[in-house]
């Protein structure tokens, strides 16, 4: 079960011993931790139509799940116990939450899901469950009790709107306070219950399933597939069984399938697009009064440049991907573009060639990047 570790956490050791292997409890992982959003701000976010939020309530053996937005009056009318509000993508809403996410940049950005926050009153919980992704559970305001199990029984309580384990058997438990953090790899059952009003920040890292990758690759090939030819059967004899699929047609179909080839370059391109595709609810706003390219380059060199918190920029070798598309980045611009992908912001003064500012200006016009170190 999870080992205890005193802060600061040694990253190389963590990645070797714990990442995707076993849980780890880190006491004081973030000394003097300050929540990126206050409880009041979290509840205000849950009332916005632009934010994905959920309300989970437990009343004895009964559970309910509602999706936001939630009017303030509804939240004020809730009881003092046994409910939780969850807000997704707080790194898109809060500069402090985005900076918190950057503290985990020892993991590739392509694996990032989001920073979710859970606001709970005493007894608030989402029930014992299992996640399919890596998560760091960082405790903020208040206290939450966590129980963890390596159990193999994944049976769910039938008829519930939540995936709650029917037979949860805790093997270890702790109470986390502000700054404490629990890492859980995929497949580890866990159960968190608020002991006081509290905020818990979930920094999640997803990995695509093979089925998701396959569907993405097939969808991409559908768009660019060009196969010439058509089935024909000149000289065919009259059939005795019109309901039978001709073997000759099946052989032709097998030949067509064999002509659909996957080169490493094509796989890399499609995978890069898939991994940088923004979430479905994400939209970008171009600047209201955009600067011309030269003015943008001058301002960017002086003030710095940042990716929008919702933007996903990644590279593989000399190929770059921005928000689900292959990005044309000239050779001279690639060092600065790699630095932007790694750091997500370039501090002033930014020394970069004109080719970089040309590429960055195109992203700026789409709302993908912003002037200044913080968007």
Sign of CA dihedral 243, 248, 252, 257: positive
- Domain residue spans in the chain? 3-205, 208-220+264-375
Residue 6, pLDDT > 60, answer no
Helical (H) or strand (E) element with 162:
none
Q: Is the dihedral of CA 304, 307, 309, 314 positive or negative?
A: negative
Question: pLDDT band for position 325 (50/70/90)?
Answer: very high
pLDDT of 40 > 80? The answer is yes
Task: Output the pLDDT for position 263.
Answer: 87
Does the pLDDT at position 375 exceed 70?
no
Strand partners, 303: none
Tokens read off for 219: 């969808």
Note the pLDDT tens digit of each residue in 24-35.
999 999 999 999
**128 pLDDT more than 60:** yes
Instruction: Find the mean pLDDT for residues 169-191.
Output: 97
Identify the band that residue 190 occupies on the pLDDT scale cut at 50, 70 and 90.
Answer: very high
Which among 139, 352, 107, 79 is positioned nearest to 206, based on CA atoms?
107
Is the separation of the CB atoms in 353 and 329 below 8 Å?
no
pLDDT in tens, 111-122: 999 999 999 999
Average pLDDT score, the chain? 93
Give the burial class of 42: count Cβ atoms within 10 A of its Cβ; 0-12 exposed, 13-18 middle, 19 or more buried.
buried
CATH code of domain 208-220+264-375: 3.40.366.30
Task: Flag whether pLDDT at 153 surpasses 90.
Answer: yes
Structure tokens at 320: 């770059």
Looking at residue 220, its pLDDT comes to 79
CATH topology for 3-205 is: Jelly Rolls (2.60.120)
Average pLDDT on 321-326 reads 97
Q: How many CA atoms lie within 13 A of 343 on its CB side?
A: 14
State the pLDDT confidence band at 200, using cuts at 50, 70 and 90: very high
Q: For residue 375, give the nearest of 323, 307, 322 by alpha carbon.
A: 307
Render the burial of 208-220: b for 16+ CB within 10 Å, e for the rest.
Answer: eeeeebeebbeeb
- For the chain, the maximum distance between any two Cα atoms, rounded to a whole number of angstroms, is 84
Give exposure, 246-271, as e/b (b: 16+ Cβ within 10 Å).
eeeeeebeeeeeeeeeeeeeeeebbb
**pLDDT, position 374:** 63
pLDDT recorded at residue 126: 97
Neighbour order of strands in the sheet with 319-322: 313-316, 319-322, 325-327
Dihedral angle sign, alpha carbons of residues 80, 84, 90, 96: positive
Measured distance CA(114)–CA(181) in Å, rounded: 16
Indicate yes or no: pTM above 0.75. yes
Lowest model confidence (mean pLDDT) among 161-170, 257-266, 292-301, 356-365: 257-266
Q: Which of 66, 62, 64, 70 is nearest to 54 (CA)?
A: 66
Burial (CB count <10 Å: 0-12, 13-18, 19+), residue 294 = exposed
Give tens-digit pLDDT for 42-88: 999 999 999 999 999 999 889 999 999 999 999 999 999 999 999 99
């Amino acid at each position: 079960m999870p080992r205890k570790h005193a802060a600061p956490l040694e990253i190389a050791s963590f990645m070797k011993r714990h990442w995707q292997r076993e849980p780890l409890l880190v006491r004081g992982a973030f000394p003097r931790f300050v929540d990126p959003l206050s409880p009041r701000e979290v509840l205000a976010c849950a009332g916005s139509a632009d934010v994905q939020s959920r309300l989970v309530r437990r009343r004895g053996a009964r559970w309910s799940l509602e999706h936001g937005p939630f009017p303030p009056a509804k939240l004020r009318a809730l009881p003092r116990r046994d409910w939780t509000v969850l807000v997704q993508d707080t790194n898109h809403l809060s500069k402090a939450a985005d900076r918190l996410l950057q503290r985990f940049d020892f993991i590739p950005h392509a694996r990032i899901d989001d920073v979710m926050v859970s606001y709970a009153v005493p007894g608030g919980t989402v029930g014992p469950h299992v996640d399919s992704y890596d998560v760091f559970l960082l405790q903020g305001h208040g206290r939450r009790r966590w129980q963890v199990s390596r159990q193999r029984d994944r049976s769910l309580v039938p008829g519930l709107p939540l995936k709650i384990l029917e037979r949860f058997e805790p093997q270890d438990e702790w109470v986390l306070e502000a700054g404490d953090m629990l890492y859980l790899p995929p497949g580890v059952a866990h159960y968190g219950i608020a002991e006081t009003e509290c905020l818990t920040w979930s920094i999640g890292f997803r990995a695509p399933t093979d089925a998701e990758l396959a569907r993405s690759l097939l969808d991409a090939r559908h768009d660019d597939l060009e196969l010439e030819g058509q089935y024909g059967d000149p000289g065919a004899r009259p059939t005795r069984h019109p309901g039978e699929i001709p073997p000759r047609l099946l052989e032709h179909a097998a030949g067509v399938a064999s002509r659909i080839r996957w080169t490493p370059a094509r796989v890399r391109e499609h995978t890069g697009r898939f991994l940088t595709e923004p979430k479905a609810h994400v939209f970008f706003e171009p600047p209201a009064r955009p600067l011309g390219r030269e003015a943008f380059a001058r301002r960017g060199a002086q003030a710095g440049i940042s990716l929008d918190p919702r933007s996903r920029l990644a590279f593989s070798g000399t190929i770059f991907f921005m928000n689900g598309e292959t990005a044309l980045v000239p050779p001279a611009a690639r060092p600065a573009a790699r630095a932007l992908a790694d750091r997500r912001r370039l501090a002033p003064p930014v020394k970069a060639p004109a080719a970089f500012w040309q590429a960055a200006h195109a992203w700026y016009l789409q709302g993908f990047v912003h002037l200044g170190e913080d968007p």
